[in-house]
Amino acid sequence: MERETVVLGLETSCDETAAAVVARGADGRGRILSNVVRAQWEQHRRFGGIVPEIAARAHVECLDEIIAEAMRTAALDFAALDAVAVTGGPGLIGGLLVGVMTAKAIALVHKLDFIAVNHLEAHALTVGLTEDLAPPYLLLLISGGHTQLLIVRGVGDYQRLGTTIDDALGEAFDKTAKLLGLGFPGGPAVEQAALTGRAGRFPLPRPMLGREAPHFSFAGLKTAVRHQAQALVPLREKDVADLCADFEAAVAESVSDRVRRAMAITDERLGARQQRHLVVAGGVAANRRLREALATVAASAGYQLHVPPASLCTDNAAMVAWAGAERLARGWADGLDFQARARWPLDPSATPALGAGKQGAKA
Ligand code: KG4
Ligand code: ZN
């Protein structure tokens, strides 16, 4: 019979330094004992985006402290842990190395299992930590680095249906915010500005609408926003608000169309089933306009929509610890010879979706 396991998770793949302790009960249910996240926005803000070297150095400086805080909050010492799980990729290699080296050292010193977790898998399984929802389900992952539609068939079993051929959705929000003179990170700033704007004033494209494969594209949309903005210089507050509202409307329509297509493919592949689920993960899942659009799509297609709480949708280590616990329960620990991977596709059999001017789609 299974017993409860306790896993320390570390996340350093991008610009958040995070550590968390999660317990997985004998019944397979998860419990968060601590979840510490330190964002690095302040260090990157004046550059208007993430600088990899600054991110790596910031992880080195604060990871030990964050781990100590996670252990203190969980009121545990290292001897009480079963394993240490760490994001092994994909991501910025400098940050990944910091996390992986630290996790290996902890595993070695305290004789714990070491588990390298794919960051996308961590996002994909998060819903199992907060809801009693087991695969299969359709996953829409929308973050600053990733935009994917995947069928989660089971732990370690993923089929990628679609990806972006250029920018990630969060990246499109961030770049749009930057060109309109709004803050960083851009998603919340665009959402806030759009609240006072009215959609319908600017003719923006709806990228990829009606395409067979459920891929995404956002570079053209962002460029269209730039052209509209340039034609209006100097921009008034109302112009920015209306542009943001139209940008969100275009995103919502494009993403809804792509999700509808992915649902049709999922239904073909998984066949008839009692319950059909759409899970949304990643930082952009916080966007209310998009959530409303997805709720409409889900309702009309007979799917239940699941959006984990915002603090677990954005990058965090609880999701890494949980994915680690799920892997450990299946006996899938890794060797200490594991090497961090800047690229690490969840579904290695998926063919790259190439876009104009791009050599390959992001993992
Ligand atoms: O998942 P996440 O925290 O980090 C990555 O793995 O990338 O996602 C961060 C992204 C950023 O691009 C941010 O602008 C976007 O999520 N984001 C939003 C909102 N909140 C965060 N985008 C649109 N609307 C929001 N409310
Ligand atoms: Zn992420």
Q: Is residue 350 predicted with pLDDT exceeding 60? A: yes
Query: What per-residue confidence (pLDDT) applies to 48?
Result: 67
CA of 163 to the centre of ligand 1 (A): 17
Cα 174 to ligand 1 centre (Å): 8
pLDDT given for residue 119 in this prediction? 96
Which residues, in sequence order, are bridge partners of residue 150?
Answer: 139, 160
- Nearest ligand to the CA of 194 is 1
For the stretch 119-164, pLDDT in tens is: 999 999 999 999 989 999 999 999 998 999 999 999 999 999 999 9
**Whole-number pLDDT of residue 133:** 94
Position with higher pLDDT, 59 vs 216: 216
Predicted local distance difference test score (pLDDT) of residue 354: 65
Q: Whose CA is nearest to atom 22 of ligand 1?
A: 187
| Structure confidence at residue 353 (pLDDT) | 76
Q: Does residue 78 register a pLDDT over 70?
A: yes
pLDDT computed for residue 61 by the predictor? 87
- Closest atom, ligand 1, to C-alpha of 313: 1
Question: Residue written as tokens 């899942």?
Answer: 285
Whether 210 contacts 256, CB under 8 Å: no
**Which of the four pLDDT bands, split at 50, 70 and 90, describes residue 360?**
very low
Q: Counting ligands in written order, which one lies closest to the CA of residue 320?
A: 2
Query: Full-prediction pTM beyond 0.85?
Result: yes
* 197, pLDDT greater than 90: yes
Average pLDDT, the chain: 93
| pLDDT tens for each residue of 86-129 | 999 999 999 999 999 999 999 999 999 999 999 999 999 999 99
The pLDDT assigned to 361 comes to 39
User: What was the pLDDT predicted at 164?
Assistant: 97
| 254 C-alpha to ligand 1 centroid (Å) | 18
Residues, CB-to-ion distance under 5 Å, ligand 2: 143, 315
Q: What is residue 348's predicted lDDT score, i.e. its pLDDT? A: 87
For CA atoms 349, 360, 91, 34, give the dihedral sign.
Answer: negative
Q: How far is the CA of 233 from the centre of ligand 2 (A)?
A: 35
Q: What is the percentage of the chain residues whose pLDDT exceeds 70? A: 96
- Rounded to the nearest angstrom, the distance between the alpha carbon of 199 and the centre of ligand 1 is 22
Whether pLDDT at 266 is above 50: yes
Band the pLDDT of 52: cuts 50, 70, 90: confident
Give residue 267's pLDDT band: very low, low, confident or very high (50, 70, 90): very high
Which residue's CA is the closest to the ligand 1 atom numbered 13? Answer: 187
Residue 355: pLDDT band with limits 50, 70, 90: low
